Structure 1
Amino acid sequence: MVYQEYLPIPALRPWLDCVWTCRVQTGATPVTHQVLPDNCIDILCQDQQDASFAVGMMTVPIAVASLGLVQTVAARFRPGAAASFFQLPLCELSDGRTGLRQLWGRELAARLGDALWSEPLSNAQRVSVLQDYLLLRLRSAPPRHQAGAAGHAIAAIEAASGQVRVEELAAQLGVSRQHLALQFRQHVGISPKLFARICRFRAASAGMQSLAGQPDWAQVALQFGYFDQSHLIRDFQDFAHSSPEAWLTGRRA
């Protein structure tokens, strides 16, 4: 697998975290890799069967199988930013894969597929093509209500690596917890509490990779903002389908 990230063009940086490409070459046996929840929505365009689709917010890990040669060019949205490109509540995309023909219309999706795959292009050229179509979609789609309190909440949750109480955050923003939850369903795709849990899990899983020797898991839990070890274990079971110890052992292998 060859994976590469690209900085978005300035006009798209308020909405995109990155644009990326991936090339997977396998033999006769499919190769599977696990993708963990990351609080992002992606658009992926693949050369196999002209597949272009959006992957919504993930609340569980997924296993992605590849067979033969698969080339992908994709865009990863910043949390809460994808709503500007889709005319539906983002909760309808969560834990699923939805074709761009359904989301953008058959004509625009077909034009994108032709532009990407009908001629041999470099990765940089395909990245440019995808960003051109994202700009076209952004400028032609009807305007949507801004995320409002949800946007401020996203920034606060990420800054705290998920270690926030939603009730207190809603009070600080001057809205009810119910109102904040509704905004998250529409503009993010999952609840603010789940968003915060995934932020905390991501911070813990990234930080754990630098741990040496046999960790004291109770201390690790406290280090990354968990109330106790059982809460750390629960998040790894939910978001990685693994215990923290088994997950770390796999990363060290």
Structure 2
Amino acid sequence: MALTSYAEFPPCPALRPYVACLWAAHTDPAAPPRPHRVLPDNCVDILWQDNRPDAFAVGMMSAPIWVPAAGPVRIVAVRFRPGAAGLFLDAPLHVLTDSRADLADLWGRADALRLHDTLWQPKLSTAARLRRIEDALLARLARAAPSTPTLGQRAVAAIEAAHGAVRVDALADALAVSRQHLALQFRQQVGLTPKLFARICRFRRASAVLRDDGTDVAALALDCGYFDQSHLIRDFRDFAGTTPDAWRR
């Protein structure tokens, strides 16, 4: 599925602590079909498509995937901040890792199908569709009634502040929990292990820098907290399926 149009939109203020963005995309029927590569981004999304009867949630990814070419499709979606999707999906997030689940199985068929049907009413604008998604999320947030950040969310904040250059033992000590407890809670509340989440966070920083300028790969590895260049190359192979040099071409 080669997306010929893609745009991101900020969430309403009440959803900003939990939602990274809403987004919309479509394919051009006249464009030649080609597969689309998706890299791990430490996020969970829900997608609604006009060419299928059910919405679905896509869990965190530990490796890149190629989405096969498909026919014309319009998509509206929400992308959650790391550790926040569980409030809206009523499920431990590790069960979605490297997979997806129909929203009907997570929300109940009646609620999921009702929203899907209203989103694809004829002549409804993209902005109106996104507002209806926000209304559904706000209703679920009110039922969840979050009070304080979870352990997973506090760990995510620390890892992201360090751009992934953090040791799990040190992180557990800083949060005053055992490494085992942190690993269990993080996996359930975020979807990955803390170590893998940190690796992807570090890779995302390195890949963004490498694509924006001509930084030497060895220097980039040190700047991004890698032990050496070989560890950076390994992460590019694991998370992008390519090498750093090929990535920036």
**TM bucket, shorter chain:** over 0.9
Aligned partners of 2:54 and 2:104 also within 8 Å: no
Q: Which runs of structure 2 are paired with 1:212-251 in the superposition (5 Å)?
A: 212=214, 216-249=216-249
Paired with 1:133 and 1:198, the residues of 2 have a C-alpha distance of: 30
Aligned partners of 1:26 and 1:67 also within 8 Å: no
- Identical-residue share of aligned pairs (%): 55
Q: Which runs of structure 2 are paired with 1:39-78 in the superposition (5 Å)?
A: 39-78=42-81
Summarize deviations over 1:78-126 as a string: whole Å, max 9, x none. 1101110122210001111111011111100110111101332111011
Runs of 4+ in structure 1 over 4 Å off: 143-147
TM-score normalised by structure 1 residue count: 0.92
3-state SS of paired residue (2:27): strand
Aligned partners of 2:211 and 2:247 also within 8 Å: no
TM-score normalised by structure 2 residue count: 0.93
Aligned-residue RMSD, C-alpha: 1.7
Paired with 2:13 and 2:149, the residues of 1 have a C-alpha distance of: 21
Q: Counterpart in 2 of 1:179?
A: 181
Paired with 1:12 and 1:49, the residues of 2 have a C-alpha distance of: 27
Paired with 1:145 and 1:153, the residues of 2 have a C-alpha distance of: 17
3-state SS of paired residue (1:48): coil
How far apart are residue 144 of structure 1 and its match? 7.5
Summarize deviations over 1:132-174 as a string: whole Å, max 9, x none. 1112222345x68965332221111101100011101101111
In structure 2, list runs of 5 or more residues that go unmatched. none
In structure 1, list runs of 5 or more residues that go unmatched. none
Paired with 2:229 and 2:148, the residues of 1 have a C-alpha distance of: 38
Q: Counterpart in 2 of 1:128?
A: 131
Aligned partners of 1:5 and 1:21 also within 8 Å: yes
Paired with 2:197 and 2:147, the residues of 1 have a C-alpha distance of: 21
* Count of paired positions: 246
Paired with 2:147 and 2:64, the residues of 1 have a C-alpha distance of: 31
Paired with 1:32 and 1:26, the residues of 2 have a C-alpha distance of: 15
Aligned partners of 1:94 and 1:189 also within 8 Å: yes
Whether 2:145 is the aligned partner of 1:170: answer no
Whether 2:90 is the aligned partner of 1:87: answer yes
